[in-house]
Amino acid sequence: MRNMTLEELYDKLCSEEFKNTENDIFYNFFIYQYLPQEEYAMRKKIKAFKTQLIRPVNYVDVLTVGLFKEFYNFLDGQAFGKNIRLI
């Protein structure tokens, strides 16, 4: 399987098929993966990408979520080991 480029992702998000909300899910979503060493470069690209998508020509309202950060925050809020009984 080959990796999708950002240009291909842009085309996908702007397609009428993707924008159609008359399907089985309430919101269309897409998960884009990249290598960890590309993190800081991708942050910059994603900001520019979102600006480009929201322009009146396309008006695709995009929510970006950092899954690693969200998972970290979830785990950080958990109480690990507080209910352990020592014998």
Express as a percent the part of the chain with pLDDT over 90. Answer: 1
The pLDDT of residue 81: 62
Query: Residues near 34 by Cβ (< 8 Å), separated by ≥ 6?
Result: 42
Stretch 22-38: mean pLDDT: 76
Integer Cα distance of 68 and 28 in angstroms: 21
Q: Is this structure's pTM higher than 0.75?
A: no
